[in-house]
Amino acid sequence: MPKPKPQPAIRIQGLHKDYKQHQVLKNITLDLPPQRLSVLIGRSGAGKSTLLRCLNGLETPDQGRLSVAGIDLNFPDDARDEAKDQAVRLRTGMVFQQFHLFPHLTLLENLELAPRVAHGRLDAHTLRRECEDLLDKVDLAFHRDHYPSQMSGGQQQRAAIARALATHPQVLLFDEPTSSLDPQLSEEVLKVMLTLKREGMTQVMVTHELGFARKYADWVVFLEDGVVVEQGPSLQVFGKPKDPRTRDYVKGAA
């Protein structure tokens, strides 16, 4: 008997989002695979961040269906469903370009905050051990009691990934995680993402790092002007793009 196909980690059907008169996402339909690294690529203004933010409730779509980490949302009906919104937030983690660590908390405190406050974790000892392990995993154990301002951008971004992991998300979302880092520090961050990929974490990344995407992404989505122009395995989108717009965008990706 053929194996049943794994359910997509994320299913997007007919998604629309407008800002006033401006249609930013136009009828987006996509499946992103579980336990894989997917990337959203395209020029500035294509709608990548808006799409990513729709996946964890930071933006509310106007129309369409979303299934994220086992939660189904139907817009506009579910637009004000606080319980579903909260559930999606609890099951997804987000990493931003500008790290967004809390400056007045140490690294360890940054990691412990969301599990305690949003997830109601009361097992302080176990939580501390988990957070220490996570800092170890991103090679920051030494900095556990340091404040974000005492660290490099690459270290802060790795801490931001550890913080996102501390809530045990089913899906990790990254919006240009390396855009404000120089190449060497970017590499440290991308290495962490590759470790998570090997461990089977579902990751979705908006990126301009086409070389990295070409080499390591399992699934690539090319957006232009609020529309999915092309999607597929990296080998196809980078190696044999079907659409001339994709071809033009990916040419030069080493």
Ligand X SMILES: Nc1ncnc2c1ncn2[C@@H]1O[C@H](COP(=O)(O)OP(=O)(O)O)[C@@H](O)[C@H]1O
d(CA 89, CA 136): 25
The secondary element (H helix, E strand) that includes residue 37 is: strand 37-41
User: Which 8-state DSSP code applies to residue 247?
Assistant: H
- Kindly state the smallest distance separating residue 198's Cβ from ligand X, in Å: 28
Task: Please work out the total of residues on this chain that contact Mg ion, with binding judged by CB under 5 A.
Answer: 1
Given 49, 156, 202, 231, the residue binding Mg ion (CB under 5 A) = 49
- From 17-25, 160-168, 184-192, 227-235, give the range in contact with ligand X by CB under 6 A: 17-25
Given 45, 70, 211, 239, the residue binding ligand X (CB under 6 A) = 45
50 sits near ligand X (criterion: CB under 6 A): yes
Nearer of residues 155 and 203 to Mg ion, judged by Cβ: 203
Dihedral (CA of 17, 238, 195, 99) sign: negative
The binder of 3, among Mg ion, ligand X, none, by C-beta within 5 to 8 A per type, is none
Residue 205 phi, psi (nearest 5): -125, 130
The binder of 76, among Mg ion, ligand X, none, by C-beta within 5 to 8 A per type, is none
246 sits near Mg ion (criterion: CB under 5 A): no
The DSSP line for 96-128 is -TT----TTS-HHHHHHHHHHHTS----HHHHH
Residues forming contacts to ligand X in the complex (CB under 6 A) are 19, 22, 24, 42, 44-50
